[in-house]
A and B are shown apart, each in its own frame.
Chain A
């Protein structure tokens, strides 16, 4: 019988760090939210649907979803020079793809829905926190959506699969080292909208990882749901 794998912060293998979510944190935005996994904090703000500029970027048949992911320079140990990087551009694009399946903006041709994500504090799994915040911000903005999207990272530390990777685990060096496997699912539809992999894993282990992630995002969804429901206290009837 294998003994219980010891994670550096004492968590069980399928335990997620403490999560927190809140909507409405940027009053100017049409919708906004914050999402936190432990020490990883992401904020997102949505503006739109609005007219898209430049005009030649417009799509006459549908509204366009445009995501930008960035990290604050001081969100990490070694300062990041302000401005986009190749990494942030890629994450911006996969975030857009992760959210696209649930958004219905065909009814707003020529418009853009801008989603701005900023990582305020980074302790790994930042793209996942970003997607969770973005999904909340989109809902808060009243964008027509058929579901939410929930995202979580799975890690493989040597041979052990764990849920919700932090920075120390990301840098795991024993055995086969660390493999980073972020996922996103449509929250109720159970469809995978984000898959990435960095490291080394067998096909069999990967299928395990998918199952783990699918199970874990239910907890993420509960946190997101609560943030939206709690955004308004005191619902009464008409006068």
Chain B
């Protein structure tokens, strides 16, 4: 059942004292568990758990034509599905706005940070380029699917290997992987979503905290304080001071939580 108003009031009350139900600080993520290569047929794949929230992210690559306005660059296509399997709140059917937005937010984070070196994905200018597919699936929603998906995308990309491309036959030999990684830069976007509950900010909400949130801002943050993507979601507005506060928390959250996932990105 959706979190009751009673509990939401309690969450706000406790937050006004600077405290969260599970004792975490506002900048702290729950325990992060990452398992690489969970689907052998994918070029790269990962299971990410933050607390009880779980997502699976897979990378597939294929060769095709470039877009006319980027003839020497590879392509990126990101999709997300909020599977009914993962929550009683998700229905059967085509992706609704929540899933569409999630996919686009993660895409923006990866794309704008220039994490992927698109020029190196060009095989023959104007004719053949690699397309990178990032596919995100929710497996259990206990809050913060957004950041779990973001972490999944970067770890899966980092650990993906290019399939073999037969230039003569112009086909991809999917079952023959090379030892070549996807061409990436060191500008790794760490997805951090700041949540506003009452007048307080926090990261990585449980599902109850997420039910209490009034607005959220997802940022792709790399190297501590560089942002290349941002999206504010939900209705409530922020004051200018609150924007500053949110950014400060994002920096703090990066410092606190980046070390937990860094080792998977070596």
Interface size for chain A: under 10, 10 to 19, 20 to 34, or 35 or more residues?
Answer: 20 to 34
Verify A47–B88 contact, CB threshold 8 A: yes
> Is residue A28 within 8 Å, beta carbon to beta carbon, of the partner chain?
yes
Verify A74–B81 contact, CB threshold 8 A: no
Contacts of B127 in A (CB 8 A): none
How many Å lie between the Cα of A39 and that of B52 in the bound state? 25
Verify A82–B86 contact, CB threshold 8 A: no
B58, B85, B133 pick with most chain A CB within 10 angstroms: B85
Known pairs A27-B140, A28-B141; A76 contacts B58 (CB<8 A):
no
How many Å lie between the Cα of A229 and that of B79 in the bound state? 38
In the complex, the chain B residue whose C-beta lies closest to that of A79 is: B60
Verify B38–A73 contact, CB threshold 8 A: no
Contacts of A39 in B (CB 8 A): 40
> Is residue A45 within 8 Å, beta carbon to beta carbon, of the partner chain?
yes
> Is residue B175 within 8 Å, beta carbon to beta carbon, of the partner chain?
yes
Contacts of B88 in A (CB 8 A): 28, 47, 50
How many Å lie between the Cα of A128 and that of B17 in the bound state? 53
Give chain B nearest CB distance to A186 CB in angstroms. Answer: 25
> Is residue A103 within 8 Å, beta carbon to beta carbon, of the partner chain?
no
Contacts of A77 in B (CB 8 A): 41, 174-175
Verify A121–B60 contact, CB threshold 8 A: no
Contacts of A79 in B (CB 8 A): 60, 62, 133, 135
Verify B85–A26 contact, CB threshold 8 A: yes
Give chain B nearest CB distance to A81 CB in angstroms. Answer: 9
A82 partner, pick from B45, B59, B79, B85, beta carbons under 8 A: B79
How many Å lie between the Cα of A82 and that of B95 in the bound state? 10
Give chain B nearest CB distance to A126 CB in angstroms. Answer: 12
A9-17, A112-120, A147-155, A196-204 - the one binding chain B: A112-120
Contacts of B141 in A (CB 8 A): 28
* 5 closest cross-chain pairs (CB), A and B: A74-B58, A74-B42, A77-B174, A116-B85, A79-B60
Using a CB–CB distance below 8 Å, which chain A residues touch chain B?
25-29, 32, 39, 41, 43-45, 47, 50, 68, 72-79, 82-83, 114, 116, 118, 120-122
